[in-house]
């Protein structure tokens, strides 16, 4: 029976009080007997939590009481077992490491497309202005190997901090196209889209909510394989169920 609710969410928002917030969120999570990981930094929050439905939703309700997090809308999936071993709340330099300090999503994000729009564009092969659509996978190579969008651009990076250099090397290949950056839950493709616009690519978008939101809101068309997640489920299918890891990867 799938009675464990798994959520992931992030928000780029200034958090000068990250160390104090760490203690508060850790206490809330322990009181509700949740497990997972919450990352905090001056640039925002990134969280992955799992537990009984009421406990998880209770934590989110408490989080929403802070005006900075009032609009956080977690992505959800269900599992039969708790996929995390412990509850960790950490303060980091970045909630997703890019090593590119000029990128500050809280100051303004790149345009986003929702799941239904991307599915329609991929059906058409072009965006609404007739420009060829390219999906750009911003994840690490081992994640891409489990699954990705059909025909997605994959620069075989080993860590996200390699993305800026890869972008400069391959920028010319993206000129004149509608580029939709994507990742697991949206956080990496948000930074990637801002950087692409900064280097002069004009028609760049991020997939709102990443692959997980695409699975949640569409039938998964145009995606091959499964989606790697950083917990004990390892990979999820398009219906957000845990994969059979004996299955062949793409």
Per the CB < 8 A criterion, the answer to whether 36 and 46 are in contact is no
Per the CB < 8 A criterion, the answer to whether 100 and 164 are in contact is yes
| 4, 183, 187, 196: the active-site residue | 183
Contacts of residue 101, defined as CB under 8 A and 6 or more positions apart, other chains included, come to: none
The position carrying tokens 């950056």 is 181
Neighbouring CB atoms inside 10 A of 45's CB total: 23
Paired sense of beta strands 133-137 and 153-154, if any? parallel
Beta strands per DSSP E along 64-166? 75-79, 87-91, 112-113, 133-137, 147-149, 153-154
The position carrying tokens 């948000």 is 190
Per the CB < 8 A criterion, the answer to whether 201 and 194 are in contact is no
Q: Give the separation between CA 62 and CA 139, rounded to whole angstroms.
A: 31
Contacts of residue 41, defined as CB under 8 A and 6 or more positions apart, other chains included, come to: 15, 18, 91, 92, 93, 94, 95
183 is catalytic: yes
By annotation, the residues acting in catalysis are 183
């Amino acid at each position: 029976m799938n009675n464990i609710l798994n959520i992931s969410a992030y928000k780029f928002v200034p958090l000068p009080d990250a160390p104090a917030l760490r203690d508060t969120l850790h206490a809330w999570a322990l009181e509700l007997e949740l497990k997972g990981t919450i990352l905090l930094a001056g640039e925002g929050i990134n969280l992955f939590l799992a537990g009984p439905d009421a406990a998880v939703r209770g934590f989110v309700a408490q989080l929403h009481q802070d005006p900075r997090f009032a609009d956080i809308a977690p992505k959800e999936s269900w599992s039969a077992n708790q996929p995390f071993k412990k509850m960790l709340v950490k303060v980091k330099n970045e909630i997703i490491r890019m090593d590119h300090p000029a990128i500050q999503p809280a100051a303004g994000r790149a345009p986003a497309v929702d799941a239904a729009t991307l599915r329609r564009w991929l059906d058409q092969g072009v965006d609404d202005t007739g420009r060829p659509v390219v999906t750009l996978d911003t994840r690490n190579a081992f994640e891409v190997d489990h699954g990705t969008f059909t025909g997605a651009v994959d620069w075989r990076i080993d860590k996200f901090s390699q993305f800026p250099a890869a972008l400069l090397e391959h920028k010319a290949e993206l000129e004149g196209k509608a580029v939709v950056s994507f990742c697991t839950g949206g956080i990496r493709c948000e930074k990637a889209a801002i950087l692409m616009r900064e280097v002069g690519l004009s028609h760049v978008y991020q997939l709102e909510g990443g692959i997980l939101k695409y699975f949640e809101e569409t039938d998964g068309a145009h995606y091959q394989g499964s989606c790697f997640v950083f917990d004990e489920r390892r990979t999820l299918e398009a219906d957000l169920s845990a994969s059979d890891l004996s299955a062949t990867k793409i």
